[in-house]
Structure 1
């Protein structure tokens, strides 16, 4: 990679000259970053629109959902944005199913484009290719060319911490959710059939013991009135569907779902490995009681999402875990209970992800000759106008503005027989997810006000501190992966065996001892190093 520096000679009579030099080491590059910013691209307009003074074409490697837009280049949003900015982007689409393979091939062959958009690039790859100079660091450019994104980083320091790699550099623009947008931050939550509570003359369960009594009553009562005992206490997909939503009742996973297996022990303030903790054992014992008494669907270990949804339409579950029973199963009679209080007084709901959803949603590569213009291009979508356009489309075409200042899709979008998202695809390309940008309740209308309101009961029990995923050096990532693969498999298998009774709890100490022999202490040392970096990142 070569960089151009404007060198001003000491004598005022001498003309300016251009000097092209090879990149120095990382330290020299960092020292010269400010000089590079000052020697802005000659076709760049630093503010206002168009972004460039002459037409510019770029190529983006772009991920897409198989049900999403088939040609981003034909979508109204990108045609209009090209007119606004002067930058014409050719979106080269790759299905999410093949994204990782195609990304790795592009990087290994060197045939990658100006930028990666909606590419789900992992923190490990950001570190790897950033350290090799293939991804451009954005730290200094953000301050000057991304005022909307910078405002978000200043407002939520945890986002900046989460996208700062171990070398102190930021190589990406992420996908971020509004922090109180619980309907999408909490994808899986517990629901209870409120009509059945009424029939049973029971109040909404508030503790694990009361939840157990409710499930037992469901199993033993013909609540659907069909003359059969076909009611099922709890239904979900996989044992994790109930395990994860109840961890908070034992005070576990208290830093959110980005840290499912490691949190902070409130008694010591130190990192705690959840799957070997005594409280995890207590939770498994509780689930073993439910399972052994037939209060959990016997098919939970084998059922898949389509089959679960179909089964749910029959109205036979007293309680279940899903996103929204009304949209998934057509069931309107379910309500989210408050966090259930556990045996130690914990009453938390910790199955919530951090607002930093994907760190590597947008990356500028070293092949890009106009990185400042490209950063200005993506920064627009962190502005109010950019968010509205990206999600809502165009006024009086896809949406209308109400007298009280709200934005609503037009009937031809909302009531389209093909579905709302399909109707939007010729105008905007967000359906399918993983895009760079900021998702807020104000403009993301796939989630209704009713859906948002349904989460109110969980708010008092949410973690006080919700960490984004940590970042690791290349060496740390490789060593942690080598350790974790076998441990993870062993934990998953052992968890199921404990819950189903295949392995008695008298074997718990042996289970813990086995995990220790698999180098879990070494794994936690790497985790601690990453936690310290996160804490100390400014």
Structure 2
């Protein structure tokens, strides 16, 4: 059995992006998007830019950005790993750009509250960094003139950002509010695949049961789970194996729905651009029927609807779980990374002969914004534009050359890791160098940054993605904005619908409600406004598509 003792920065950083943006309200296809209102702030960005540029202190190209130092205040969440003023990456940026930063940090767990207080008080920082500006905040505070429109600044002073937006017009559409302005900048990772962690097999169980190939259909999976229950694959002489483990189905729902041809658990658009409300689709019924079968036959963990993720992981470390979801299998099973713990291949079903997979859009909005109090917006956009370059990405993601890494072939951007100064954990040390740790930060993921740094396990994960997920993957629904009226209506409808769907999912799976009552359930969804939800998101999709 081949094991790998470490997993590298490459996976660590990419998963932080996936985890946080999946949890954020502005990026998930399950979210409602942002409300749009009319903006009267179209000229705000140009006036300070022109005034500052006329002073002769600002350089449109090259470094430093300013000839004489200017100080800008920056508000960002703090992960508690290092005081930002002591981070060498930010010190290097000051030397490079001539821009000093005044830090207004708040702990991650209270940052949203602090941000709301700042918006309410009018005491704005010059810029927000990794602040998870929501779509509603973008359009509300953009319309009020609090957040500056950035499109002219981008065109005139930010060539790296402009290049990305010109090459990927869908990204430009997804960060442009209906009033035509861009009020925030995103984190972009065009190689992102996962919304949540995929599903995994316990490799020891596969080996114990002499599985020559992993299941390819729901029937084959059912047969395998029956064997897990009956044949003691952990070899302890006890019937303590749990064939299928989950936490309230939240961790497996989206992955499983793809087996019945559905890309997302609430709203998705098909390949023809038609928007569907998932909980009343026939594929959703197929998903419920399969889980109910597992429940009735003792194959689905009886604590599914009550346990925590920590309780599930404890069962994994006790070698009781056959299949489960996590970002990496050893997060649940313990031990070291092991490629024998295979990624599940999405399954064929009685409804979908070819499964599908809902892919991450590779975009996390609201990572950076400039406020109306900023007297140097053109210098600020140049400062952040550096993070969208290869050099800026390398500095902010890895730290300065010679600390944790060095080039082995600079012309081809190939690198190698250096020993951690003083020993210890590489990621924890990196967190003392750069703000780009544990938060979704502005910038673009450049694959050249990690060139030469991927270990064998990193490479194996990428190969699993390419083999099993990418060929059937599609972004479930584009990142859009709702109008103010749509937002208000959708929020009211979704509040009741989401609660009802969640309750009925548990009842259908556990048999408290017979699936013979499916038609009554669908009728109730329609009565509660399910069709209207689909109409609202169809209208938003059509605007985006135009």
Could you say which TM-score interval applies, normalised by the shorter chain? 0.7 to 0.9
Matched, 1:345 2:352: yes
Q: Deviations over 1:271-305 (max 9, x none)?
A: 11110112211111011101111111122222222
Q: 1:355: Cα distance to partner?
A: 0.3
Are the counterparts in 2 of residues 61 and 115 from structure 1 also a CA contact under 8 Å? yes
Give the corresponding residue for 1:511: 521
- Return the alpha-carbon distance in structure 2 between the equivalents of residues 35 and 323 of structure 1: 47
Query: Cα 1:503–1:28, aligned 2, differ >3 Å: closer, same or farther?
Result: closer
Query: Cα 1:354–1:274, aligned 2, differ >3 Å: closer, same or farther?
Result: same
Query: Cα 1:164–1:326, aligned 2, differ >3 Å: closer, same or farther?
Result: same
Matched, 1:480 2:490: yes
Task: Kindly report which structure 2 residues correspond to 1:167-206, keeping only aligned pairs within 5 A, or say none.
Answer: 167-177=179-189, 179-182=190-193, 185-202=194-211, 203-206=213-216
Are the counterparts in 2 of residues 339 and 461 from structure 1 also a CA contact under 8 Å? no
Q: Secondary structure at the match of 1:402?
A: strand
Matched, 1:85 2:102: no
- Return the alpha-carbon distance in structure 2 between the equivalents of residues 442 and 309 of structure 1: 35
Give the corresponding residue for 1:423: 429
- Return the alpha-carbon distance in structure 2 between the equivalents of residues 227 and 123 of structure 1: 55
Give the corresponding residue for 1:45: 59
Query: Cα 1:311–1:452, aligned 2, differ >3 Å: closer, same or farther?
Result: same
Matched, 1:297 2:301: yes
Query: Cα 1:83–1:30, aligned 2, differ >3 Å: closer, same or farther?
Result: same
Matched, 1:408 2:416: yes
Moved more, 373-382 or 289-298: 289-298
Query: Cα 1:325–1:428, aligned 2, differ >3 Å: closer, same or farther?
Result: same
Structure 1 unaligned spans of 5+:
1-25
Moved more, 333-342 or 48-57: 333-342
Are the counterparts in 1 of residues 45 and 377 from structure 2 also a CA contact under 8 Å? no
Q: 1:186: Cα distance to partner?
A: 4.3
- Using the size of structure 1 for normalisation, the TM-score is 0.87
Are the counterparts in 2 of residues 61 and 92 from structure 1 also a CA contact under 8 Å? yes
Q: 1:247: Cα distance to partner?
A: 0.9
Query: Cα 1:293–1:27, aligned 2, differ >3 Å: closer, same or farther?
Result: closer
Task: Kindly report which structure 2 residues correspond to 1:100-119, keeping only aligned pairs within 5 A, or say none.
Answer: 100-119=112-131
Are the counterparts in 2 of residues 391 and 430 from structure 1 also a CA contact under 8 Å? yes
Q: Which has the higher contact order (CA 8 A, sep 6+)?
A: 2
- Return the alpha-carbon distance in structure 1 between the equivalents of residues 247 and 427 of structure 2: 26
Task: Kindly report which structure 2 residues correspond to 1:206-221, keeping only aligned pairs within 5 A, or say none.
Answer: 206-221=216-231
- Return the alpha-carbon distance in structure 2 between the equivalents of residues 520 and 112 of structure 1: 40
Moved more, 327-336 or 155-164: 327-336
Are the counterparts in 2 of residues 188 and 351 from structure 1 also a CA contact under 8 Å? no
Q: 1:31: Cα distance to partner?
A: 7.1
- Return the alpha-carbon distance in structure 1 between the equivalents of residues 60 and 116 of structure 2: 34
Q: Deviations over 1:221-246 (max 9, x none)?
A: 11111111111111222212232211
Give the corresponding residue for 1:386: 392
Query: Cα 1:474–1:28, aligned 2, differ >3 Å: closer, same or farther?
Result: closer
Are the counterparts in 2 of residues 77 and 390 from structure 1 also a CA contact under 8 Å? yes
Give the corresponding residue for 2:320: 316
Are the counterparts in 2 of residues 61 and 117 from structure 1 also a CA contact under 8 Å? yes
Task: Kindly report which structure 2 residues correspond to 1:357-368, keeping only aligned pairs within 5 A, or say none.
Answer: 358-368=364-374
Are the counterparts in 2 of residues 71 and 93 from structure 1 also a CA contact under 8 Å? no
Larger Rg: 1
Q: Secondary structure at the match of 1:106?
A: helix
Give the corresponding residue for 2:24: none
Query: Cα 1:340–1:518, aligned 2, differ >3 Å: closer, same or farther?
Result: same
Structure 2 unaligned spans of 5+:
1-37
- Return the alpha-carbon distance in structure 2 between the equivalents of residues 243 and 522 of structure 1: 23
- Return the alpha-carbon distance in structure 2 between the equivalents of residues 464 and 245 of structure 1: 13
Q: Secondary structure at the match of 2:449?
A: coil
- Return the alpha-carbon distance in structure 2 between the equivalents of residues 475 and 100 of structure 1: 25
Are the counterparts in 1 of residues 286 and 351 from structure 2 also a CA contact under 8 Å? no
Are the counterparts in 2 of residues 128 and 474 from structure 1 also a CA contact under 8 Å? no
Q: Secondary structure at the match of 1:315?
A: coil
Matched, 1:284 2:288: yes
Give the corresponding residue for 2:379: 373
- Return the alpha-carbon distance in structure 2 between the equivalents of residues 148 and 521 of structure 1: 42
Task: Kindly report which structure 2 residues correspond to 1:54-73, keeping only aligned pairs within 5 A, or say none.
Answer: 54-65=68-79, 68-73=80-85
Query: Cα 1:448–1:510, aligned 2, differ >3 Å: closer, same or farther?
Result: same
Are the counterparts in 2 of residues 248 and 347 from structure 1 also a CA contact under 8 Å? no
Are the counterparts in 2 of residues 59 and 90 from structure 1 also a CA contact under 8 Å? yes
Q: Deviations over 1:113-155 (max 9, x none)?
A: 1111110111111111111111100111111111111111122
Are the counterparts in 1 of residues 44 and 145 from structure 2 also a CA contact under 8 Å? no
- Return the alpha-carbon distance in structure 2 between the equivalents of residues 345 and 135 of structure 1: 46
Matched, 1:436 2:448: no
Q: Secondary structure at the match of 1:341?
A: coil
Are the counterparts in 1 of residues 165 and 172 from structure 2 also a CA contact under 8 Å? yes
Are the counterparts in 1 of residues 493 and 528 from structure 2 also a CA contact under 8 Å? yes
Q: 1:308: Cα distance to partner?
A: 2.0
Are the counterparts in 2 of residues 181 and 441 from structure 1 also a CA contact under 8 Å? no
Task: Find 1:143's aligned residue among 155, 159, 175.
Answer: 155
Give the corresponding residue for 1:501: 511
Q: Secondary structure at the match of 1:92?
A: strand
Q: 1:400: Cα distance to partner?
A: 1.6
- Figure out how many residues of one structure are paired with residues of the other and give that number: 498
